[in-house]
Amino acid sequence: MLKPVVKSADNGSACEGQQLVSELFHALSQPITALRCSLELALYAQSSPSKENLQMALAHAEKIAQLASGIRELVQADDPGDERVELLLKDCLRGAVLDMVPVAEAAQVKIEMCGQVTGKIIAEPRRLHQALFYLLEFALSSAASGSVLNLETETQGAQSLTFLTVSSKKSAVNSEAETEAKSVALSRRLGLAIAGRIFESAGGRLQIQEDEQSLRLRFYLPLAN
């Protein structure tokens, strides 16, 4: 039985969100401190700053910009947008999948779509595409090489229900890659949180269930009319 590890909004994901924000600001403080140290060393050096020091400072600055951009996206995801229109969900899903085909091919993961939703949803196209991108990115980055990502959509009353199921997950990383793995995991969680907030701002919700072998992402969106 799958064990839920990230709860839906109505199950109290506020604590998870607060923990994520805390981790993001902690992660942001690290390159800021490193950048300051690099600049101080360059400032007080007896000779001109070395190319290596400048490259390190640039890398820290890029990391700061990346994290700041992600935090801004997370905050803005609560806004449903001013350009909401009626959209065919199946067309939006198909477009998002097509955009992720190169990523799936590089990861050697196959994406299969099934199910039909003929109704429309109301959302801002850019924000919905952003949410679907992050959702598919999370699923693909979780999938083991050679596995299949099943995308299934159905209608339940006045809602559309979409499943993204990864049947085979990646194994745990080794200790040598632990630091890098933590950074990647934080970035993936951030993307998933942004997707969840976008769905919530459109009147829907996101649920995540996983165990050691499999992952299921499930999101609901209300149908128009």
Q: In Å, what is the CA distance from 119 to each residue of 3, 45, 155, 225? A: 31, 65, 8, 9
Distance CA 98, CA 100 (A): 5
The domains located in the chain, with CATH, are 1-225 (3.30.565.10)
Q: Is the pLDDT of residue 10 over 50?
A: no
pLDDT at 63: 85
User: What was the pLDDT predicted at 179?
Assistant: 59
pLDDT in tens, 155-187: 888 888 888 888 777 765 544 456 567 777 888
Query: Looking at residue 99, what is its pLDDT?
Result: 93
Handedness of CA 33, 36, 41, 44 (dihedral sign): negative
pLDDT for res 166? 83
Question: Which pLDDT value is given to residue 46?
Answer: 60
Which pTM does this prediction carry? 0.78
Please list, in sequence order, all residues whose beta carbon lies within 8 angstroms of the beta carbon of residue 151, skipping any fewer than 6 positions away.
93, 97, 111, 112, 113, 114, 162, 163, 164
More confident residue, 6 or 57: 57
The model's pLDDT over 110-155, given as tens digits with 9 standing for 90+, comes to: 998 887 767 788 889 999 999 999 999 999 988 888 888 988 888 8
- Greater model confidence, 44 or 74: 74
First to last CA, the chain: 36
For 141, the token pair is 């980055």
- Does pLDDT of 15 surpass 50? yes
Q: Look at residue 89 in the predicted model and tell me its pLDDT.
A: 87
Residue 89 structure tokens = 């969900």
pLDDT in tens, 56-104: 888 888 888 888 888 888 888 888 777 889 988 888 999 999 999 999 9
pLDDT digits (tens, 9 = 90+) for 46-55: 666 667 777 8
Percent of the chain with pLDDT over 70: 85
* Inter-CA distances, 38 with 26, 41, 45, 76, Å: 19, 5, 10, 32
* Helix or strand run (H / E) with residue 144: none
